[in-house]
Structure 1
């Protein structure tokens, strides 16, 4: 008999599979000789490889098809995780607007991911860059808000420990975003690509940490003939500690 909710498996499985999908795209692009390997200065005889940005790795077919599929699935499942987190906190936070803002921020980030995946960099650069801005910008905001909520809403007396981890991850994500922009502006593309890959991996690690709280909750969808009743419920498996209200 499981002593934790199987929903706890969703965030880490999502993070591992999404990261694996992006790395598969990277290795395929290296194999097809469209990008340089990370940390390499290898050049073609008649020119140079493209820098190994994630968007460039997924720009050329047939890898671009895989890239679109990976980003779309990552955006969809990521949105589901954000909704589950919203439902989990809905009755444990006395400032509902903050919980709503978290959901909206990550929804915007997920929409940005779909733009990145479906509009290739060299084809629709403006739309692609807009998607990158939405994904990184709104995603970073989501991480900081969730870090704050984790510290204040002390679910099962684990909020402070988990909150510290998330604050460190949010700080790392913010540092990577700033460093990425600075390196891009100076034309240091190989270093910028390394920073970009680190940034995305930190995002996936952050989302994977939701397994800690999800292991205490069971999420059910209830269908009834009475349209007045709610259709989405979150029921704790174990008794939660009294939260520190925001």
Structure 2
């Protein structure tokens, strides 16, 4: 067991708790209506604030979409913090997961695609958290348009990767759990998009609920990496860095071969055998670089 098992759980717990606190603050400050409210009006007269109580008259502008909950201060400050910290933790989880698969000899396109999708998810989260929908709508929607699909691609690829590396019954059980979460995320994302384009108050409210479900499911999926991160060591990240160094060395060697500077034997000597431990991976030592 290593301390890295705390990272995925912290990402899920911090983000889920944080966005619900943002929602509660927005409701109490009369910036959105509570999620249990399904009655909306075309217009509302100005009503006096009642501290500690939600709004009694709601319009379509008060639908509790996650983005709307984080549009106005003071909750917008916490919303930005959650987006930034959450994005950083997503990057760390994706890097460790990528390096862990490299460490065990699974440097396939699924692993690389998962890393790229995870980074895209993090970039989208930063944009969503820092560009509020009521103040920078275009940038906010661009961020959401990157974060949601990238998150969906990431969890889908990780499902495939989990099945590919599964060895025990518990591994397959975790793969099944992740497939269930992925299906739930896909259904909620599709329904959210389908409902959001309509002007009906009821469908807009349903879109908000589906958006919340999608976000929570994705965050729970990230938390499941605690299962694998118990085997992460200090050498795990080095495995990913050595992979990158190996690819860079191969590119340099390929260019040198085209120039006639190096023979094919040198290139073969730098290939990693792809074993199941970090000791089988290429070591990017100064002596290896000097051979170039």
Tell me how far 1:154 sits from its aligned partner. 1.6
5+ residue gaps in structure 2? 47-56, 245-275, 278-292
Change in Cα spacing, 1:222 to 1:33, as seen in structure 2 (3 Å) is closer
- Cα pair 2:127 2:140 within 8 Å, conserved: yes
5+ residue gaps in structure 1? 224-228, 233-238, 241-246
Post-superposition CA distance 1:180-221 (Å, at most 9, x none): 011112231111111111110001110000000111222358
**RCO higher in structure (CA 8 A, sep ≥6):** 1
Report the Cα distance in structure 1 between the residues aligned to 2:118 and 2:243, rounded to whole angstroms.
Answer: 22
Report the Cα distance in structure 2 between the residues aligned to 1:74 and 1:222, rounded to whole angstroms.
Answer: 20
Which of the numbers 27, 31, 40 marks the counterpart of 1:30? Answer: 27
Match of 1:83 in 2: 95
Change in Cα spacing, 1:35 to 1:92, as seen in structure 2 (3 Å) is same
Post-superposition CA distance 1:93-127 (Å, at most 9, x none): 44533211110111011000001011110121111
Change in Cα spacing, 1:20 to 1:222, as seen in structure 2 (3 Å) is closer
Residues 1-246 of structure 1 correspond to what in structure 2 (within 5 A)?
Answer: 4-41=1-38, 45-46=45-46, 48-49=58-59, 50-154=62-166, 158-187=170-199, 188-220=203-235, 230=242
Give the number of the structure whose residues are more often helix, by fraction: 2
Post-superposition CA distance 1:6-29 (Å, at most 9, x none): 211211121011111111100000
Match of 1:235 in 2: none
- Cα pair 1:176 1:195 within 8 Å, conserved: yes
Look at both structures and tell me which one has the larger radius of gyration over its CA atoms.
2
Change in Cα spacing, 1:177 to 1:222, as seen in structure 2 (3 Å) is closer
- Cα pair 1:105 1:142 within 8 Å, conserved: yes
Aligned partner of residue 61 in structure 1, secondary structure? coil
Report the Cα distance in structure 2 between the residues aligned to 1:56 and 1:210, rounded to whole angstroms.
Answer: 30
Report the Cα distance in structure 2 between the residues aligned to 1:222 and 1:206, rounded to whole angstroms.
Answer: 22
Report the Cα distance in structure 1 between the residues aligned to 2:211 and 2:237, rounded to whole angstroms.
Answer: 41
Match of 2:254 in 1: none
Report the Cα distance in structure 1 between the residues aligned to 2:175 and 2:18, rounded to whole angstroms.
Answer: 28
Tell me how far 1:166 sits from its aligned partner. 0.5
Aligned partner of residue 83 in structure 2, secondary structure? helix
Supply the RMSD in Å over aligned alpha carbons.
Answer: 2.4
